[in-house]
Chain A
Amino acid sequence: MADMAEAKLTEHEAHYNDRVQFGFWIYLMTDLLMFTVLFAVYAVLRDNTLGGPGGDELFSQPLALTETLILLTSSFTAGLGMIAARRGLKNQVLVWFGITFMLGLAFLSFELKEFAEFIHEGHTMNTNAFLSSFFALVGTHGLHITSGLLWMAITLIFVMRRGLNGPLVRKLTLLSLFWHFLDIVWIFIFSVVYLMALA
């Protein structure tokens, strides 16, 4: 399998790509730590429902499973998109990342629906500490997904117009790192928030 994109890089560009990817990885580590604080806060505050319903009453595990499977699939399609990118196959890139985008959008809409339902029933982030922590943790993840989708859309537009050049392949690499990382964070949200609610 020919790595056409990389063969065309000069040594300067290759070193730059390597550095940037490493730097982005470190940024992902800092993001992980930010999420850790939100997880820790959730763990400490999740019983503070002030007598109101807790996760066992509010959460729908089937919905969470749906969201998890959607996001997992989107992570998979992003990976396939990256393989196409390294082969320089512009149309395949657009297809696979396009599917990833759609799946991401679906994930978001399920999540927003869940939030809207809670708020409609009077369970807002102001109700008690448990709900504050829930909305902060899951909402922050949702914000990251939204940013990722925005990034994806802009990058794909540039791919359509400029074709797959070295810098764009690098950007797609970083984007896919980000997307995989968000799926990993979601695994823990699924486990700690939704599944452990039934403990």
Chain B
Amino acid sequence: MKELILGKLSMHALPHEWFTIAGSVSFLLLALTIVVVLTWTKRWKWLWKEWLTSVDPKKIGIMYFIAGGFMLLRGGLDAIMLWLQQALSAGEAHGYLTADHFQQIFTAHGNIMVFFVAMALIFGLINYFVPLQIGARDLASPFLNTLGFWLYIGGVIMVNMFFFLGGEYAATGWLAIAPLSELQFSPGMGVDYWIWSLQIAGIGTTLGAINFIMTILKMRAPGMSLWRMPPFTWGSLCSMIMVVTVFPLLTATLFLLFFDRYFGTHFFTTMGGGDPMMYTNLIWMWGHPEVYILVLPAFGVFSEVVATFSRKRLASYTSNVLGMIGVATFSLSVWLHHFFTMGASADVNAFFGVMTMVIAIPTSVLVFSWIATMYKGRIQFKTPMLWFLGFIGIFAVGGMAGVVLAVPPADFQLHNSLFLVAHFHSNVIGGVLFGIFAALSYWFPKITGVRLNERIGRYAFVAWVVGFCLSFIPMYILGFMGATRRLDHYDSATGWQPLYVLMFIGGLVIAIGVALQIIQIIASFMQRRRLRDTTGDPWDGRSLEWATASPPQAYNFTTIPQVEQRDAFWHMKQQGLPKPAYENIIVPKNTGAGIYISAFAFLASFGFVWEITWLIVASIIGVLAVFVVRTFNDDVEYKLTAEQVRKLEAERKQKDEAEQQRKAPALGIDNSEDMGLRDFTKAAATFGLDVIRNKRWRTWQKQN
């Protein structure tokens, strides 16, 4: 009877290890804090109406940033734990993690960083800025947008669920290669959590990509041909087309693994005629293009940043775009380089080795185009440009390491060594993450209306680069010395320990860099009077997103701009900006359908993990029911008349002016320049004391 209701759930599933208790308590405390703040400030309805059910891609973008940022901290904590273990665990000492726990941590670290940090932050950027850049008001399907976001959140919850119930995550590495991930060798529910968190998030990603492609191809402003689109939009288009091409492969493969575990089929089992090597083949067919999916929007961001901060237009737009298309196309023909050592023999290895090296060519075209843009430009070393410079150095080294690995005989030595780990982290951190940082610092004024504190930004950048070098240069060296990846313990006679300790220290320096980035944001808001962006165009930008207020109104533009050239906004500024005009705007209504469907999808997945049949059936019915109700509901939009738009614009102008007049908090800082760390500490202390002494929390409640 209990089995019927609860499936495989039991008291034993509740947290009883130190890390599951710690994790559960942390999450609960966080949830409690949020609940308390929302109740105290009476903001539940506001949260639901203004944010959770919103279909505005700008709001959804910000929610992606918040969730992705949070998961970055979670994945970063995993990394620190791993480094600490490796620094301690040499010879007689065995560190503080069991081998199995260590394996779960590196699995979770990989999954979280790829799926729940990088994809989320990139989706946030595309959501926010592609409609602005192409002169559109919204994405093609606002409903699919919110659905995709909440499915992602379902994945986030699922990947953290094991803390509360089950106590174990997959211990198989981030791709859960068969047969280790089969029931025979992973009998617990960890791999099931792995499967379903990726499956939900993956479907959300695919739906989102379809939405972005529809938007870019069908909703550009009049006059904006494909060859007049900004490079970030191009990078996003290439990336999203890749998503729709390869994520179905992942979805299918995950279903097959799920079938093996749940129904006892024999796709990848060692017995019954299954072929585990086919799993490796299929999963890397997805896995390799995935990393290019992550990096192409970053390339697009860098093209914009380099042009803006060199005060020059992008040198050779055509080769830049063709480079991105080339990377996207070739990335579909290289996947076997992840398993040169599996034994497919010389001709197969040679073909894929050559194709892997060929990818360096379009990538180099991009690098040369950026360098050519900087040449004879008037370079401004603002934060976004600093991130670009960090990227160029680190990504190039990582790329060269990749070409080394592309040679099969060399790979036979270096496969699954720390050299490999250093290679892909150089590319993912140097390329994707620095790209995201550059994008966020470039577009921060647009999103918030406040420019970023440059001084602390420089400190953060230096900390990141120093930390990265401290962590990853030893890793390259260790790779050559023979250290393999995923080692939780090694012989002290190897002499590796000092390098592992260096890596851990580097990790701490990176953590300082992250802290500095958070401080940078807080400090910018503290000095917002000084750093306010009143024009909407703080960098003298070239593309259409700068033609709006900071932050933009919900409908982006009062009238859709007419585009005549590449660098549309730059051109408009030369011609003289058009007078404001107003027209009727059709606005999509908010909807909770995305939340409900994702909640049911999450429950169904939970049911699959714990084999609770009634929950599975009920949840699937729930998904279908909400979907049908939503899609057969024809009343999903409302109209804003031109008069109403004009009023909204006038109100906005008034609000901005009132904001400027408001008294700044007396924080005792010099507002003539960006504050440094000492000033920040002083200001934070003053603010904190002020809050405590004058019991300011009471006024917050009253204000709301």
Contact = CB atoms under 8 A, between A and B. Distances in A.
Given A26-B210, A33-B248, A126 B266 contact: yes
A165 B632 CA distance: 12
Contacts of B140: 19-20, 23
B172 interface: no
B210 A136 contact: no
Given A37-B252, A158-B632, A129 B275 contact: yes
A154 B274 contact: no
A167 interface: yes
Nearest to A30: B248
A132 B214 CA distance: 36
Nearest to B213: A26
Contact of B206 (A30, A44, A49, A136): A30
A27 B259 CA distance: 23
A49 B218 CA distance: 49
A129 B266 contact: yes
A66 B167 CA distance: 51
B141 A48 contact: no
Contacts, number: 112
Given A33-B245, A41-B278, A126 B264 contact: yes
B92 interface: no
Contact of A41 (B219, B244, B251, B256): B256
Given A23-B141, A30-B248, A126-B272, A132 B265 contact: yes
A45 B274 contact: yes
A29 to B, nearest CB: 7
B214 A22 contact: yes
B617 interface: no
Contact of A49 (B144, B273, B631): B273
B46 interface: no
B267 A29 contact: no
A194 interface: no
Contacts of B278: 41, 44-45
| Secondary structure dominating the interface of A | helix
A38 B219 CA distance: 35
Q: Chain A: interface residue count, which band?
A: 35 or more
Contacts of B144: 23
A23 B263 contact: no
Contacts of B272: 50, 126-129, 132
Given A19-B219, A22-B218, A136 B256 contact: yes
Contact of B265 (A36, A38, A126, A165): A126
Nearest to A150: B624
Contacts of B670: none
A37 B285 CA distance: 10
B347 interface: no
Contact of B210 (A23, A36, A171): A23
A133 interface: yes
Interface residues of B, number: 41
A167 B586 CA distance: 17
A129 B214 contact: no
A20 B141 contact: yes
Interface in B615-640: 624, 628, 631-632, 634
Given A23-B211, A126-B263, A132-B265, A38 B274 contact: no
Contact of B267 (A19, A129, A167): A129
B265 A30 contact: no
Given A26-B210, A45-B273, A45-B278, A34 B265 contact: no
A31 B248 contact: yes
Interface string A158-170: 1000000101000
Contacts of B357: none
A56 interface: no
A37 B214 contact: no
A34 B211 CA distance: 19
B560 interface: no
B282 interface: yes
Nearest to B206: A30
B625 to A, nearest CB: 11
B273 A128 contact: yes
15 contacts: A22-B218, A23-B214, A30-B210, A32-B248, A37-B282, A41-B267, A45-B274, A45-B278, A128-B266, A128-B273, A129-B267, A130-B273, A132-B265, A154-B632, A171-B632
Interface of B: 140-141, 144, 206, 210-211, 213-214, 217-219, 244-249, 251-253, 256, 259-260, 263-267, 269, 272-275, 278, 282, 586, 624, 628, 631-632, 634
Given A19-B141, A22-B217, A33-B248, 11 more contacts: A19-B219, A23-B140, A23-B213, A33-B252, A126-B265, A128-B266, A128-B272, A128-B273, A129-B269, A132-B259, A132-B272
The 10 closest A-B pairs by CB, nearest first: A48-B273, A129-B273, A37-B252, A132-B265, A33-B248, A129-B266, A30-B248, A126-B264, A34-B248, A23-B214
